[in-house]
Every structure is written in C-alpha cells, then in structure tokens.
Amino acid sequence: MAIFNFFSKQFIEIIEWLDESRDTLVWRFDHANNEIKYGAKLIVRQSQAAVFINEGQLADVYGPGTHTLVTQNMPILSTLKGWKYGFESPFKAEVYFVNTKVFTNWKWGTRNPITLRDPEIGPVRLRAFGTYSVRVSDPAKFVKELVGTNNQFRAEDVAENLRNMILTRFTDIIGECKIPVLDMAGNVNELSNYIKEKVAHDFDQYGVEIVQVLVENISLPAEVEAILDKRSSMGLLGNLDQYAKFQAANAIEKAAENPSGGMGIGMGFGLGNQMGNIFGGNSMNTPPVPPTPPPVQFFVVINGQQQGPFPLAQLAQMATTGQINRDSLVWTQGMANWTPAGQVQALQSVFATVPPPLPPV
C-alpha cells in the first residue's frame, strides 16, 4: 500500500500564481498532499513575493524572478529541515504568494461626528471622509501578523482595521492642530500629509506601507452651515443698519406689487416715506433717504437650464404664455436655495391672472 501511495503522488515542478482578482492580497499555493520536487521552478511575477512556511515557521522569501528550488537557494528552509548538502529529495512546505502592488482608492470616513472646540465658533461637530492607498512592504511580517493559516486573504479582511487606525489618528490630529473650521479647507493638503506621517508606524507593524492619504471633505452639520450662510449674507450686506434698510426696501416693493392697484402703490409710497423718516430722521440736517434699490429680478430654471434674471413684469408674461408655472424653480439674491415660484411671496402677483391647473377627471 505504501508503495502504491508513493507512485500515485505527483511532484510539483512549477510553482506560480496568476492573479485574476483585483482585491487579493495573499494566496496560498494549493498542492494538496503533493510534494515539491527538488529543483522545481518558482515563478514570482512583478508586484509579487513568495513566502515559504515550514511547519508554522517563516522560511525563505523570494522577490520577482524565476528561482530554482535547491538547497543553495533555500538557506532558511534547509536549516529548518536539517538538510545536508547534496539533499535532492522532494519536500513539503507551504508557499504563500503576496501581492505587493499599490492598492488605491480605499475609503475612510467618520461614522459619527467628531466634537471639538473651535477657537472662533466654539463647540462644533465635524465629519470627514477621504481615500488612502497602501501596499505590502514586508511580505513575511504581513503573513505572520495578519494572514495566519488562511488560504486566501482579501482587501476587505484588513481594510477596516487600517481605516480605524486612520480615523483614530485623524481625530487626535484635529483636536491638537487648533485650526479654525473656516480655515481647514486651505489646510487639507497639510492635514493629509500629517495623517500619513502619524499612521506610518501603525501600518508598519503589520508590514504595510501607507502610500498616500487624501482628505477629500470636512463638513459641519447642516444647521450650522445654514447659520454660516446667513452670517456670510450679513457680511455682504454690511452692518445691521444697512440690512434693515434693505429689508425695508423689499417691503416697499412687495407693497407696490400688491394686485389691489393704486391702493397698493399708494401704501407702498406711504410706507417708503415712513421708513425714510425712521431711518433718515426728521431733522433738516440729516442726509436724504438713499434711492430705492432696483427692482428684484429672478433667475428661472427652464428645461433644466438656468435663465435670466427676469423682472417681475416679464415673469408675468412668461406665466401667461406657459413658459413658467408655480412649480418652476426660481432664485434671487437673499434666497438660500432654489424654490418653487408658487412658494415665493414676491411672485404671487405674477400668477394672479393665471388659472390653476384643471382638477383630475
């Protein structure tokens, strides 16, 4: 029976790995119970390394090229097996092929907001995300620390662990750097390089090199961004006095556009005089009321394209001809977002003479 088993065995003469996947980091050469022939050819392609394991112990590591497996080319394995010079029998050993190419576009991002104290805004919560690239720099260490006895090791098996390292360092760096939130956009490149420097040692303990880290976005909660938008609008308008005058001018225009006719126009002029007295004062030495701002004009989305701006009179004609309706998106200075025309108070007069859509039959 032993003689039959001896003759039924097949000796491995060529050991190689053709990677047909995009995410395999390590693949164990499957030779079942077959032994490796003494003098067999080991073919290691570019961006690969071959690691020999003998009974759980790391042995020889081979880089790209074609290697003849003889005692002279297997110094560590020969020592572990106690081979004498001239040993030419088949042998058993596990062979792991390691993919050493650069793996790009791996994602990282904060699952929960990071709370920190901003020097300008105060306590804020930040979210961030980006990408990073890695490669296996020490195949032997990588197999020893992460792969174990797995016959295949994919990117997903290690990506989460590496991503958590980046997030930990990112949180620590954001808390220490004291960069105001409003200035972070101008320091994204510096943050990316700093994160790479900080996590390099963490990755190296697993035989992995971090090639690149990119911070793509740092964002605030939506409600905080809305407040910042209002603050920016105030900065464009100037001081509060100018803002109040701007609001008063809008009120005058809305009153003048009242579809009730002359009464609305008269009320508009009356309100304008009242506002002029309030802001300009009744003294003869006070400067005159500044001229009324030009009429508000709106941009309109027509057939998916932004057009305009159009004055209210032209918008009324467009509504009559069906070019726009109450659902058409409009925007003008002072509005935070594009809004359906039917929801804008200043445009109610535009649709005053346009009948609503017919009810369903």
Q: Are 218 and 188 in contact (CB under 8 A)?
A: yes
pLDDT confidence of residue 194: 87
Domains of the chain, residue spans? 2-99, 103-220, 225-280, 298-351
The CA distances from residue 344 to 146, 335, 348, 359, in Å, are: 61, 10, 7, 23
pLDDT confidence of residue 96: 93
pLDDT tens, residue by residue, 305-354: 888 888 888 888 888 888 888 888 999 988 888 999 888 888 888 877 66
Residues 6+ apart with CB under 8 A from 181: 118, 120, 121, 124, 126, 218, 220
- Global pTM reads 0.58
pLDDT confidence of residue 17: 93
Type of residue at 118: D
Instruction: Pinpoint the alpha helices (H) of the chain.
Output: 2-8, 75-81, 139-142, 156-177, 188-204, 222-237, 240-256, 262-280, 312-320
Distance CA 309, CA 322 (A): 18
pLDDT confidence of residue 229: 65
Half-sphere exposure of 90 (CA within 13 A, CB side): 14
pLDDT confidence of residue 3: 43
CATH of 103-220, one of 3.30.70.2860, 3.90.226.10, 3.30.479.30, 3.50.50.60: 3.30.479.30
The secondary structure of residue 158, as a DSSP letter, is: H
Sites in the chain below the pLDDT cut of 70: 1-9, 84-86, 225, 227-246, 253, 255-290, 292-293, 353-359, 361
Q: Are 248 and 279 in contact (CB under 8 A)?
A: yes
pLDDT confidence of residue 5: 47
Fold type of domain 298-351: Dna Ligase; domain 1 (3.30.1490)
